[in-house]
Amino acid sequence: MYVAAASVDSRYAVHSIPFDRELLRHIHVNRSALGLRAALLGARRSFRRESEAAALLRAVQCLDLTTLAGDDTEKSIERLCAQALHPVAPETLCALGIPGIVVRAAAVCVYQNLVPAAVRAVRGAIPVAAVSTGFPAGQISLDLKLAEIERSIAFGAREIDVVISRALALEGRWGDLYDEISLFCRACDGRATVKTIIGAGDLGTLENVARASAVAIMAGSDFIKTSTGFEPVNATFEAGLVMAREIRRFEMASHGVRRVGLKAAGGIRSAETALLWLTLMREECGEARTRPDLFRIGASGLLADLQRQLRRLAAARSSAEHQHAMA
Amino acid sequence: MDRKRLAELMQHLDYDPAPLEAGEAFSWLEEHDGRFGHFIGGRWSAPGGKLLPVIDPSSGTAIARVTMGNAKDAGRAAGRAADALRSWSRTAGVERAGYLRAIARAVARHASLFALVESLETGDPVGKSRGIDIPLAIRHLEKYAVRGAMEAGGDPGGFAQGVTAAILPRHSPLPTLASRIAPAIAAGNTVVIKPSESTPLTALLFAEILREEVRLPPGVVNVITGGVPAGEALVRHPRVRSISYAGSAEGGRRILGLAAGSGKHVALELDGNTIFLIFGSADIDSAVEGTVEAAFVNRGWIYSGGSLLLVEESVYHPVIERITRRMERLRAGSALDATTDVGPIRSEERLEDIARLCRREQEGGAEIRQPASWRRPEQGFHYPPTLIANVREVDAFAAAHPYGPVLACMSFRTPAEAMQSANMRRGIHAASIWTQDISLALDCAYGVRAEKVWINVSRAFDESSGIGAMENGCEVLREMFPWKGSRAKSWSGKALSKREREKILDGRATGRRTGHAGETSSVEIRAAVAAARETYPLWSGRSSTQRARSLHSLWEHVQMQRERLAGAISLDTNLPLESSRKELEATLLFLFTTAAYIDKHEGTAEHVSGKNLVINLREPIGVVGIVAGDEFPLLGVAAPAVAALAAGNGVVLANGRHPLAGLDLSEILRDAGLPPGCVKILPAGDPDQAGILLAEQEEVDAVWHFGSAAGGAAVENITAGNLKRSFVAGGNVPAWGDPILFAELIDAATKVKQIRIPYGV
């Protein structure tokens, strides 16, 4: 097995804690209350004008620009990476009055075999994330999963998106799930960031989402991630709320030491939805949780809408200035 | 776009304030020159005399002035309403319903203007007025349009009782207005509205829309502005036949006192507190969110008093910590900003009241928590969201009705202790119970003395959930139904002959042989009340089916004793047996009908707005004290007693002048298997005196008086002080067989607890 030896000062040692069933016992989730909270997320919070531009740019900066398709080629990966490095047109930034600011996506996210192409294309400017461990279903044996992680890292991936065995969660084998995620985290320790995909849409109940999140946090994940994008139900705000609250719980219990990130992925296509995710993070966990080191949005189609909305704001600004100049 | 601001926001992401364009509201105010008269008989009177400023609490400045109404204005308005009544009450129900629909549509058309005006005058964030209040007001209007058409449609004028005075509270003025006037005008009544002196503008805007757009016949809805004197003049006005009031207990007492003995119908909705119960088995984060939302954001909506949070000890600290943390993210600001969570307090004076309350708690050893990030907005009367942990003087706190963003908190150890803490307090409007354990939740819902119970939810805002007391869908419309007191007389005929009398006496082997069986002393009444108090839970604990069975058995027993009872009536009243038998038959019919009706009376379940199950649980009032009239010695005793019993109450009944039949009935009740003690029929030497004694007894929960007008007025005077429910015939002899009276009796014997259980999403 490819298990990296955990060094004493490793992030993993700080991050993980031994499996503690007690921490799963008192998890209660009321679905209706969460539904109401989710529905009201944007009710009294609005990003407009400057704050809308800032929020759209923040969403771009938190973006794991993703392609996970059968027809991905080296060339299409190169194009994706170019987009990730320059997600906002210079004219737009200029029109917004911030020409000098560098805006990049947080990472590009690809299948394991395409990592080398992506690493070449990003030239070290941003990390490459690789989905590993039998993405998306996770239905391969453990040694192959670990081998895939090892191979992804060897190819130069600095972030690894792993999928949990949903079966373990559905069967209530939380200890076994902890062991599995632990192995993933150790395998990456010190070399790559681990984002553990809990597959919320496959877990059936929000309690299971909360428990799987807690187990993934205990096992030392750097991020917990909502979905693969291939489940019957995509990333819902309800699931996001539950996960954000688990993250908050562990952070509070460790007096701020255990800071785990959240990655929302699956079905996030509109800028509006992305901004609601930022609102969710800001309201539930604070502003620090809206930054790319602790928050990511995994999406492929979203960037186009973010660009569109930024262009709209830029145009409004320049036309306003234009009128001003004429007056 | 400001590049510096943008660069700053890119460093630290934040929202922008979203001030609303309030031009629409201000131009409406300007159209009126910022000064308003009364709206009487479809016309604006000229603003005159002393003008009252309407203060916008967000800015602390006066935005308009309204006329200070006096008794003359109240009289004029009541007069015009009475004039309009004649044709309005004869309009077909369907047509009245059509007007309600049109009003609802007009309010919807101007929803944004209404929301702005309401937020301007109340200081409630526009998110609340726009998102909750206005839609709710529209819903009330629509609902009574439908109900009015259905129930009153076939009987024009059948339900009208006259001019209704609606005296509105400061908070949520538009939905309260709608919930009052909709049932009233649906039933064919006309209305005079007296809004709160600090928030009169929504009512005036409403009046204007009625005139300009709906073209409601003049006089059907009138609005007079002003303070207490205008309201009191309305209450006293002879043409006003029913009064609906929402506000403080003190104001309620005054109105009941003014109306006592007048035969006017008074519906009160008094300020109360909200209790939150968080158990260890709750989704703590959602419970915290719900509590914060209700206590700080929607204050004034779900309650008009204070909020008290009771938390199970095992999770007390996590809950307190999380609330503290959550409070940091509340945004304070102008009511007219879409991003405001916590709007201003209504006045500077109120601000000082709240501060004093918090200081006192702090000195008493409670811990005051306020968000560190809170900055007082530059304008307006603002108080920071405040959590009083380990509150000391809970009762003083509750009584102070702080009406501000203040939440008092204490812990409990067991569910029983939680119930005890909650039920120690009077005037609890709503309880919000948080636990994932459904049987615990329902057990508490059943046990807590509140009118609304919300399980795992704290904002329940649709028309079925109403606003407060005494209001619950069908009841409101029914309250607008007339009191069908008629001048019915006993069946009569020639007097009983001596021979007949002796024959009856011979047949009475057991029981009291003749008339007046002694006086009732206050000691006796007290003992009877104490016994009823103690034993009625045995009775109310039976299912309504079991109670129906007992009443049916009572019917059988009465049938077996029919000759004895008819004889008793005749002995006492000296009326011929034939007439007494008629009364007996009517009594049997009443008994039979009641038993049949009560068989399915536990309550109803509704499915409302999305996935919400609402259970309307019918509960008894408690111990009902009844003073029977002199007419109908058997029916007049059996009908009210059985109606009260049917709903599960304990009964202490004082007989009228002819107690013999009633006393016989008392024995039969025992034979029929009702728990001894839960019903007691007393002979009353002086029925009026008995009424006073019953009304004064602390352990009596409601008093019904069917005796003399003076006795009824005395009862009403006392219940005005102690706020007991009363039901007084005002000297009329009730038409006992009337189905509407029957429904009223059952209503008077019942209170409805509404339990809301959301499920799924």
Q: What is the ipTM of this complex?
A: 0.91
Task: Please provide the average confidence, as pLDDT, over all residues in chain B.
Answer: 86
Q: What confidence score (pLDDT) does residue A293 get? A: 96
pLDDT band of A247, cuts 50, 70, 90: very high
- Other Cβ atoms within 10 Å of B189 Cβ, number: 26
The pLDDT score that the predictor gives to residue B20 is 87
Q: pLDDT of A260-291, one tens digit each?
A: 999 999 999 999 999 999 999 999 999 999 99
Residue B601 pLDDT grade (very low, low, confident, very high; cuts 50, 70, 90): confident
All residues of chain B having their beta carbon less than 8 Å from the beta carbon of residue A237 are: none
Q: A50: which chain B residues are within 8 Å (Cβ-Cβ)?
A: 1-2, 5-6, 9, 16
Query: Does pLDDT of B540 surpass 60?
Result: yes
A45 closest CB neighbour out of B2, B280, B339: B339
| Radius of gyration from C-alpha coordinates of chain B | 28
With beta carbons under 8 A apart, name residues in chain B contacting A48: 16, 18
Q: What pLDDT score does A304 carry?
A: 97
In chain B, % of residues over pLDDT 90: 50
Q: Do A44 and B321 touch (CB under 8 A)?
A: no
CB contact at 8 A, B719 and B726: yes
Instruction: Indicate whether A28 pLDDT > 80.
Output: yes
CB contact under 8 A, B321 and A252: yes
Annotated active-site residue in A64, A161, A189, A222: A161
Q: Which of A29, A34, A36 to mutate to test the interface with B (most CBs of B within 10 A)?
A: A36
Q: Which chain B residues touch A278 with a CB distance below 8 Å? A: 13
- Label residue B49 by pLDDT band (50, 70, 90): confident
pLDDT tens-digit map of B275-284: 999 999 999 9
Q: Find which of A50, A279, A293 to mutate to test the B interface (most B CBs within 10 Å of its CB).
A: A50
Name residues 675-714 of chain B within 8 A of A (Cβ).
Answer: none
Grouping H, G, I as helix, E, B as strand and the rest as coil, residue B269 is strand
CB B748 within 8 A of CB B725: yes
Interface test with B, best of A26, A34, A51 (most B CBs within 10 A): A51
Beta strands in chain A (DSSP E): 63-66, 107-111, 128-131, 159-163, 193-197, 223-225, 261-265, 295-299
Look at residue B268 and give its three-state secondary structure: strand
Q: How many CB pairs under 8 A join A and B?
A: 114
Cis, peptide link before residue B687, omega less than 30° from 0: no
Q: Judge contact between A20 and A203, C-beta under 8 A.
A: no
CB–CB of B646/B594 below 8 Å?
Answer: yes
Mean pLDDT of A84-107: 94
pLDDT score of B221 more than 50: yes
Provide, as residue numbers in chain B, all residues whose Cβ is less than 8 Å from the Cβ of A31.
760-761
B2 in reach of chain A (CB within 8 A): yes
**Chain B CA closest to residue A317:** B1
The chain A residue lying nearest B341, using CA atoms, is A44
Are the C-beta atoms of A101 and B8 separated by less than 8 Å? no
Query: Are B528 and B680 contacting, i.e. CB atoms less than 8 angstroms apart?
Result: yes
Name chain A contacts of B340, Cβ cutoff 8 Å.
Answer: 44
CB B192 within 8 A of CB B240: yes
CA nearest to B478, candidates B745, B219, B214: B745
C-beta atoms of A32 and B758 within 8 A? yes
Query: CA B342 to CA B374: how far, in whole Å?
Result: 11
Q: What is the pLDDT of residue B466?
A: 45
Select the residue of B280, B341, B761 nearest A35 (Cβ to Cβ): B761
User: Pick from A51, A245, A313: which is nearest to B14 by CB?
Assistant: A51
Mean pLDDT across chain A: 92
The answer to whether A138 and A167 have CB atoms below 8 angstroms apart is no
Closest CA of chain B from A207, distance in Å? 10
- State the nearest Cα–Cα gap between B612 and chain A, in angstroms: 9
Q: Which residue of chain A comes nearest to B6, CA vs CA?
A: A50
Q: Chain A partners of B337 at a C-beta cutoff of 8 Å?
A: none
R_g over Cα of chain A: 20
pLDDT at residue B509 tops 60: no
Q: Which chain A residues touch B if contact means CB-CB below 8 Å?
A: 26, 28-37, 43-55, 57-58, 96-98, 101, 238, 245, 252, 278, 282-283, 287, 290, 313, 316-317, 320
Q: How far is CA B525 from CA B530, B667, B693, in A?
A: 9, 18, 8
Mean pLDDT of A288-300: 96
Q: Which helix (H) or strand (E) holds B228?
A: helix B228-236
To test the contact with chain A by mutation, choose from B4, B5, B15 the residue with the greatest count of A C-beta atoms within 10 A, namely B15
Neighbours of B521 (CB within 10 A): 12
Give per-residue pLDDT as tens, B64-92.
Answer: 999 999 999 999 999 999 999 999 988 88
CB A296 within 8 A of CB A107: yes
Distance from CA of A308 to the nearest CA of B (A): 17
State whether A51 and B13 contact (CB < 8 Å). yes
Distance CA B620, CA B750 (A): 5
Residue B541 contacts by C-beta under 8 Å, 6 or more apart in sequence?
A: none
Residues 6+ apart with CB under 8 A from A124: none
Contact A50 B331 (CB under 8 A): no
Of B506 and B11, which is predicted with more confidence?
B11
Which chain B residue has its CA at the smallest distance from A26's CA?
B281
The answer to whether residue A195 is catalytic is no
**A-contacting residues in B 430-469 (Cβ below 8 Å):** 434, 436, 456-457, 459
Note the pLDDT tens digit of each residue in B118-161: 999 999 888 888 888 898 899 889 888 877 666 544 444 445 67
> Quick check: is A161 catalytic?
yes
Contacts of B341 in chain A (CB under 8 A): 44
Q: Which of B6, B125, B759 sits opposite A50 (nearest CB)?
A: B6
Q: Tell me, what's the pLDDT at B499?
A: 77
In what helix (H) or strand (E) does residue B428 lie, and over which residues does it extend?
strand B428-434
* Contacts B342 to A, Cβ<8 Å: none
**Residue B324 Cα, gap to closest chain A Cα (Å):** 13
Residues on chain B touching A97 (C-beta within 8 angstroms) = 1, 3, 6
Determine the pLDDT at residue A122. 96
Active site residue A263: yes
- Strand, helix or coil at B615? strand
> Each residue of A98-136: pLDDT tens digit?
998 999 999 999 999 999 999 999 999 999 999 999 999
At B93, is the pLDDT very low, low, confident or very high (cuts 50, 70, 90)? confident
End-to-end CA distance of chain B: 40
Among A51, A238, A283, the residue with its CB nearest the CB of B16 is A51
Measured in angstroms, the CA of B344 and the nearest CA of chain A are apart by 16
Of B6, B321, B456, the CB nearest to A96: B6
pLDDT for res B508: 66
**Neighbour count for residue B603 (Cβ, 10 Å):** 16
Query: What pLDDT does B471 receive?
Result: 34
User: When comparing pLDDT for B361 and B213, which is higher?
Assistant: B213
Residues in chain A within 8 Å Cβ distance of B457 = 32-33, 36
Closest CA to A158 of A228, A109, A213: A109
Return the biggest CA–CA distance within chain A: 72
CA–CA distance, B217 with B206 (Å, rounded to integer): 14
The amino acid at residue B138 is I
Percentage of residues in chain A with pLDDT exceeding 90? Answer: 83
Q: Select from A33, A58, A101 the Cβ nearest to the Cβ of B286.
A: A33
Please list every residue in chain B whose beta carbon sits closer than 8 Å to the beta carbon of residue A236. Answer: none
- Mind telling me how many Å the CA of A30 is from chain B's nearest CA? 6
Measuring CA to CA, how many Å separate B345 from each of B338, B349, B352, B382, B406? 17, 9, 10, 6, 11
Give whichever of A322-326, B201-205, B242-246, B426-430 has the largest mean pLDDT: B201-205
Q: Which residue in B has a C-alpha nearest to residue A54's C-alpha?
A: B10
